[in-house]
Homo-oligomer: A and B are copies of this chain.
Amino acid sequence: MEITEIDGVLCNGIKEGKLGLGLVKFSGNIAGVFTENKIKAAPVIVCMDNIRKGYAKGLIVNSGNANAFTGEQGLKDAKEMCKIAGELLGCRDDEIAVASTGVIGRKLDIEWIRKKAFEVYNGLGNSRKHAERFANAIRTTDRFIKKAYSNSAKISAIAKGAGMISPKLATMLCFAFTSAKFDSGELYEILKNAVKPLNRLTVDGDTSTNDTVLLIATGKEKIDRSIFEEELERVFYSIAKQIAKDGEGATKVFEVIVRGAESVKSAELVAKTIANSLLVKTAVFGCDPNWGRIIAAVGYSGAEVDDKITVAFENDEKTVLLVDRGKITGKENEAKEVMRGDFRIIVDLHRGEYEDYAIGCDLSYEYVRINAEYTT
């Protein structure tokens, strides 16, 4: 299901070289979560402000320029983007959601945006082609478009982002549309809960200045809240996996599942620490079942742990136990096989009943190549 199949959503987009512009027309309640980086890009500040009232009538997104670290001029430009979209869509400036992604520290070419917005507006529509054009317009270094949907909950989401490890801090933008009916307070609570998979992916060393996740509900139909929340989380989980898959230079995605923790917080801490460890990431790349690195990461995660840990590697075909409550099994060769594709690292701390997970990707030569190149 494309975003244009959500009742009441029209969109379009254009891409010219490294610059892109996308526009979405709708009318509905809106909720958003944004980067926790203290240095927020101008569009993030303006968008947070505009959606505070809980509804919006349009979304404008540009790619190629993040409009971040651009001071007063940046704020003026982000507001101007809203004005341009508002005039075209026939609504107030502050009824527009706005997002940007691209290079940091460069002034926006607002005249290019004005010109292209007009063209994009004239081509608004609700076909699959239109959804594709919008998705393509917001890409930067993304090798493919990320999208996911739920038929039962009438959700369709589109995203961009090249992994939690990313060149030029490739921003995660994710826009989820639904025809479900929720008031804006509910919508925010639902989003805050369901967004978890995206946080399990992006909270690592390098948090972008522009990360934006929006949930827009056109309110055409009644859907059970708990089903909706579950389905939305599933949609975001799919998006998170797709972003990890597109991580710069990534050759595979791995998931870390931590069980038996004393608290959810501990489980989260351990899972993220393992997924972010350079030594684990490189070992995953090289199919090296070096579980010592995992044990060490568990130890320095900050969570309460002891050495009675269980570590297993798992794919859809089999589970290989490497460490069983502190006892070494010697099954490295079997584990190596599991590491050839996407797989899961299962860690049981045997200290409690809490569980959490993190999604990561490996670290390859290609990552270094991409990120060592002169890009500013």
Q: Which residues of A contact B (CB under 8 A)?
A: 36-40, 68-69, 71, 103-105, 165-169, 205-209, 273, 276-279, 282-283, 285-293, 295-301, 303-307, 326, 328, 332, 336, 363-365, 367-369, 371-376
Using Cβ atoms and an 8 Å threshold, which residues of chain B touch A292? 68-69, 103-105, 168-169, 376
Give the CA-CA distance A209 to B291 in the complex, in Å: 13
> Are the CB atoms of B206 and A299 closer together than 8 Å?
no
Closest to A289 in B: B376
**A71-B326, A105-B291, A279-B169 as given contacts; A298 in contact with B39, CB under 8 Å:** yes
Q: How far is the CB of A374 from chain B (nearest CB, A)?
A: 5
Closest to A297 in B: B206
> Are the CB atoms of A300 and B207 closer together than 8 Å?
yes
Closest to A376 in B: B290
> Are the CB atoms of A69 and B278 closer together than 8 Å?
no
Give the CA-CA distance A38 to B332 in the complex, in Å: 24
- What would be 18 A-B contacts, judged by CB atoms less than 8 Å apart? A37-B299, A38-B301, A38-B303, A40-B299, A68-B292, A69-B292, A69-B326, A69-B328, A71-B326, A105-B292, A105-B328, A205-B277, A208-B296, A209-B295, A278-B363, A278-B371, A290-B374, A336-B374
Give the CA-CA distance A37 to B277 in the complex, in Å: 14
Q: How many copies does the complex hold?
A: 2
Q: How far is the CB of A327 from chain B (nearest CB, A)?
A: 8
Counting chain B CB atoms within 10 Å of each CB, the highest count among A209, A290, A306 belongs to A290
> Are the CB atoms of A368 and B279 closer together than 8 Å?
no
**A71-B326, A206-B278, A296-B209 as given contacts; A286 in contact with B38, CB under 8 Å:** no
Closest to A304 in B: B38
Give the CA-CA distance A291 to B39 in the complex, in Å: 14
> Are the CB atoms of B376 and A299 closer together than 8 Å?
no
> Are the CB atoms of B36 and A300 closer together than 8 Å?
yes
> Are the CB atoms of B296 and A39 closer together than 8 Å?
yes
> Are the CB atoms of B300 and A371 closer together than 8 Å?
no
> Are the CB atoms of B290 and A367 closer together than 8 Å?
no
> Are the CB atoms of B69 and A295 closer together than 8 Å?
yes
Known: A165-B279, A205-B279, A286-B372. 6 other contacts (CB 8 A): A36-B300, A39-B299, A68-B292, A69-B295, A104-B296, A286-B373
Using Cβ atoms and an 8 Å threshold, which residues of chain B touch A277? 205-206
Using Cβ atoms and an 8 Å threshold, which residues of chain B touch A305? 38-39
Using Cβ atoms and an 8 Å threshold, which residues of chain B touch A169? 279, 292-293, 296
